[in-house]
Amino acid sequence: MGQNELIISLPQKLTVSSLCEIDFVSFWKTRSNPVDKIIFDFSPIEFVRPAGLASIVALMKFSKHLGVAERYYFREPKDSDVRQYLKRMGFYGQFGIIKEQVNQKIKSLSTLCELREVKDEFEAYKVTEQLVKIVREQVQPRKEMMQVISHALGEIVDNIFHHSKSPVNGFVCAQTYKGEGEVEIAVADCGVGIKESLKGNPIYKGIRDNAEAIEIALGKMTTGKPGTNSGQGLFVCQRYVKENSGQMDVISGNAQYALRGTGGNVKSHPFWQGTIVSMVFNLEHTFDPKKVLNSEFPLDADFDELFEEAGER
């Protein structure tokens, strides 16, 4: 192995929880000391979840954007199921790698919402709608859960354009797990991160670190764009996940917020340039999103006269 070669070895289980096992320190060093070649080593991988995949694809695109190496290599997973999974998720297409056609039998059994690069905000709407449709077709969640999932998906995809300033766009993917009765949705970007984004609002200029920034971003009416955005997106997502006893992870800079069930905490994480958001919903744990919104934001009766039934016209 030459000195000018960097191997980014990926963990056996590529999930949001195992991203911290990746040697990001060596990777970021290449920004000041470019190398001849970077090898993204997928060979150890035996299991992948959406947040892991979206994050690595964003990182690979970002490394190319930065020009930190002369050449980039991809070492294929040893596990044939993982290779098949990557194919079905559209991973190879992201890098112009042509693989044989996906086995139609496998494709029809698919519970995947393939990886999408969201290039502009109008496409964000289309991508959200397509993913919602796929989730609905695959697991037919109850109406309330479908609303929660589509709401959360819409909010986190929207955030890519309104906050991230990512030079390599954003990546979104989802997967339904029928056996476990779960849906995971994830987005990853390599933008400015939550701390820098919040600094667009003068009241957050004094934020000390990424951990504080994530905590603030998860609060009510927090935005780096006062007047433009109302800053309820992540707050509502977090409330939904709590109500659902699901899981939520937000990684930005060198901090990670991890919510499991109803308890969440912020801890340190190897530096990530940008933001990763992942949410896992329990399909069986249905709740009424209307009640959550009403409890957090009690409504005035004033609004009722704005709404009419079909016959009132």
> Which member of 162, 165, 199, 260 binds another protein (CB under 8 A)?
162
- Residue 73 sits in the site that holds another protein (CB under 8 A): no
**Closest CB to another protein among residues 78, 133:** 133
* Cα gap 16→55, rounded to integer Å: 8
**Closest CB to another protein among residues 100, 302:** 302
200: which 2 tokens?
Answer: 């667009």
Binding range to another protein, per CB under 8 A, among 8-16, 24-32, 191-199, 292-300: 292-300
- Residue 275 sits in the site that holds another protein (CB under 8 A): no
Q: Are 158 and 121 in contact (CB under 8 A)?
A: yes
What residue type is assigned to position 261 of the chain?
Answer: G
- Residue 137 sits in the site that holds another protein (CB under 8 A): no
| CA angle centred on 68, ends 121 and 253, rounded to 5° | 55
Find the shortest distance in angstroms from Cβ 210 to another protein: 23
- Residue 128 sits in the site that holds another protein (CB under 8 A): yes
Residues between 205 and 224 that touch another protein (CB under 8 A): 221
- Residue 294 sits in the site that holds another protein (CB under 8 A): yes
First to last CA, the chain: 75
Residues 6+ apart with CB under 8 A from 218: 234, 235, 238, 250, 257
**Closest CB to another protein among residues 63, 128:** 128
Q: Exposed, middle or buried, 122 (CB in 10 Å: 0-12/13-18/19+)?
A: exposed
Integer-rounded Cα radius of gyration of the chain: 20
Where on the chain is the footprint of another protein (CB under 8 A)? 121-122, 124-125, 128-129, 132, 143-144, 146-147, 150-151, 153-155, 157-158, 161-162, 221, 229-230, 232-233, 236, 288-290, 293-294, 297, 299-300, 302-303, 305-310, 312-313
